Amino acid sequence: MLEEILKRILETGCGLEIDEAGKIASEASTDELLAAAESVTRHFQPVKFDSCSIINAKSGRCPENCKWCAQSAHYHTGAAEYQLLDSEKMTKAALMCHERGIGRFSFVTSGRRLNDAEVDAICDCCDEIRSRCSISLCMSSGLLNGPQLEKLHRHGVSRYHCNLETAPSFFGTLCTTHDQSQKIATLKAALDAGMDICSGGIIGMGETMEQRIEFAFKIKELAIGSVPVNVLNPIKGTPLEAQPLLGDEELLRTVALFRLILPKVYLRFAGGLARFSDETMVKAYRAGINSAIIGDMLTTAGADISSNVKLIQEAGYEF
């Protein structure tokens, strides 16, 4: 079955149908999934690995109650709390990323959304960065409105990020202060403003494989081209602190299924990957992860840049 479906995917680029995905997830071995996903990746994806880095530009005291998040004001996690960083610090970080060969730099801020004054400050910083280097600029600042997104785009922000986080059927069990329809509206507003959009989520929060497949098909429905894949890092003080850790094989099977469902997107490793073995990371890159956030990850440490690059190159990509 998988061999015939793989042939069709390679010919059409359309990816698995939802009934096929469920059947393959329950019947195919991990080796079969990885081999099929690697074939799809090699056929549709460039050899050049896509990289980005983030700065935690505003941290903590978020009014939303997302159960996975260290920065929620509803939980006591010890996460850093500070207002928007000054332009000099953010510009310095962007220039450092550019010097290290990273292609994109993203401002990430806590909270439901930035106010207009904060958006203006980010716009001024974007102007400074663009005057000094050519790194592409991204933004992840919650549920911004249309005029805010349009202004950011005019000042050089080319991509907006807002994670759907998980399957529609599971999201409401993890957050009640906003819903996925608001996230989708924000992504559509970013598209209307002229930006590309980036949206993925977190696996290992207690969802089933069927719900991961549901989530991947929601991404497909919205035609999102950049899809961050985070793995839950259970943080003490959050409601998910005792959630069992996702295993290596479960990670690999999920990555492979995502690639078979989404043949042409950038699957982007993000947070929670530092604990996985080098062998698992290389297998995941080969099976479909062709982009990554490089460096530190908000409230948890990421792998250092040189270690990431070594594994990426071992998997056959150019950095």
Whole-angstrom distance, CA of residue 198 vs CA of residue 91: 22
95-111: per-residue pLDDT in tens? 999 998 899 999 999 99
What does the mean pLDDT of the chain come to?
95
pLDDT tens, 116-168?
999 999 999 999 999 999 999 999 999 999 999 999 999 999 999 999 999 99
* Contact call for residues 166 and 174 (beta carbons, < 8 A): yes
Question: What per-residue confidence (pLDDT) applies to 296?
Answer: 56
Predicted structure pTM score: 0.95
CATH class of 15-314: alpha beta
